[in-house]
Amino acid sequence: MALRTRIAAGPLVAGALEGGAGGLSRPPPQSIVILGGSGDLTRRKLLPALYHLGVAGLLPEHYAVVGVSRSKLDPEGFRRWARACTESFCRCDVDAPNWRRFEAGLSHLSGDFGDPATFGRLAEHLGSLDRAHGTEGRRLFYLATPPSAFSEVIRGLGESGLARGSGVVVEKPFGRDAASARALNRALADVFDEGRVFRIDHYLGKETVQNLLVLRFANTIVEPLWNRRHVDHVQMTVAEDIGIEGRGSFYEEVGALRDMVQPHILQVLTFVAMEPPASLGADDLLAEKLKVLRAMRPVQPSDVVRGQYLGYRSEPGVAAASQTETFVALRLEVENDRWAGVPFFVRTGKRLARRTSEITVAFREPEIRIFGSARSERHGGNHLAIRIQPDEGISLSFLAKRPGAALELGEAALDFWYEPTFKSRLVEAYERLLYDAMQGDRTLFTGAVGVERAWEILEPALTDPPALHHYRPGSWGPVEADALVAPRRWRVPGSTDRVRPR
């Protein structure tokens, strides 16, 4: 389904997922095979999302969901486990009629991904499901395994013939540098058609990220100002108030730069900086996003601040002298006619002051300042804040006269909130992206060349990382990050939010 239809029907889609297809078509018959079928991603995100799609009538009419893992689960044990997962993490209630319909399509296969016999047995199992469930030989494979298993899973799918004509969803991290990303892309290209490869970034499935396109290209009051003549700088903050939650061994291998900046933040910033695409089809959107990445100068270590929260080295699985960053801030530049000279500042981290993701476009001050400097002590002039999560919405900050006899300026805001405005809950990102992958729609997924280019942008900072600075949990990161944006200041996300309407 084209993104044009999806965007126009945004509230309708959200409403559809609350209890009706709302005009959206069901995907074609198929089997959804989750490699890593008993893992944490499957437990927290994939099974609950698939169940909710089923409740909404947005699963195929004929489908099967197969979990493949090393766990010794018989079909009935897998269904009991799946129900417990869904009851814990699905955003809708699990009722008996809907669950009976959903679990009828669930099955599990135990096996080692390094053993070719596992994929032979999977081929036989899928053949029987085609006959029993009418899935017509269509398969969508979801790689929910650790990244270290990607290559052997891809090889097993290829050698067994299962990859032929099938789609594959690949989770992050997609490599750990440019070289490993290229190797993984080559492995995928050997067995899958690129048009059926879905490199998933759940941030691109968020309604607020997609709305960047509508905000920019459907509103004449915005697009004429979206350039270096009117924009002073752009900020993006992706903050978590939790730590690594027992994932010390994993986090030691990635850090904030690999975990958040490469797969998420750079991709979202392409929506902020891209030129208008020729259409809203997948190929045209991917082409414009790639142009932004190619226009980005590789980030130098001097434009990076790395931090680590106090107490991180005491976490289970973390080295006593760990140099892994739990916070990173960067200055990025897009060297094209629209953005030359406009810095893009990004920061992300664990154990920060609050959980939030927000993009701020800060506008330049008027050239003729009849009121003196309009620069706010906190933010710097007018700004447009796009709240990705939580409290999704948009705030436009402007200056107004304070009540009273004196001519004093005060900061005011126009606020838009998604759920109260459209009277509907937002679509969960994995639900949207799973639906799109079943439909074969790559619009909200990343391309091979774009993934590799994102790694190339970060390569200098990965090979020669700057010094590590410590910060207090509950703060906004190390004070050294303030110098990165000076003489500007970091915006405190949500600092102009008003009381949320009912």
Q: Which residues are catalytic?
A: 264
| 139 to 33, 155, 168, 188: CA distances (angstroms) | 7, 16, 8, 16
Pairwise CA distance, residues 255 & 230, whole Å: 35
Q: Is the peptide bond before 173 cis (omega within 30 degrees of 0)?
A: yes
Which tokens hold the place of 171? 């989770």
Closest CA to 384 of 274, 231, 266: 231
Pairwise CA distance, residues 288 & 278, whole Å: 9
Closest CA to 398 of 424, 379, 425: 379
Pairwise CA distance, residues 14 & 425, whole Å: 6
CB 82 within 8 A of CB 103: yes
3-state secondary structure 38-63: CCHHHHHHHHHHHHHHHHCCCCCCCE
SS3 of 402, please?
coil
Please tell me what DSSP assigns to residue 35. Answer: E
Please tell me what DSSP assigns to residue 257. Answer: I
SS3 of 113, please?
coil
Q: Which string of DSSP letters, residue by residue, matches 329-391?
A: EEEEEB-STTTTT-EEEEEEESSBSS-EEEEEEEEPPPSS-TTS----SSS-S-EEEEEEESS
For Cα atoms 426, 432, 437, give the angle at the middle one, nearest 5 degrees: 175
Closest CA to 10 of 489, 467, 422: 422
Give the residue carrying structure tokens 């996003």. 289
Residues 6+ apart with CB under 8 A from 366: 374
Which tokens hold the place of 467? 């010094």
Q: Is the dihedral of CA 18, 23, 24, 29 positive or negative?
A: positive
Give the residue carrying structure tokens 């939010």. 497
| 352 to 96, 203, 243, 359, 468: CA distances (angstroms) | 41, 19, 9, 17, 16
Beta bridge partners of 394: 386, 416
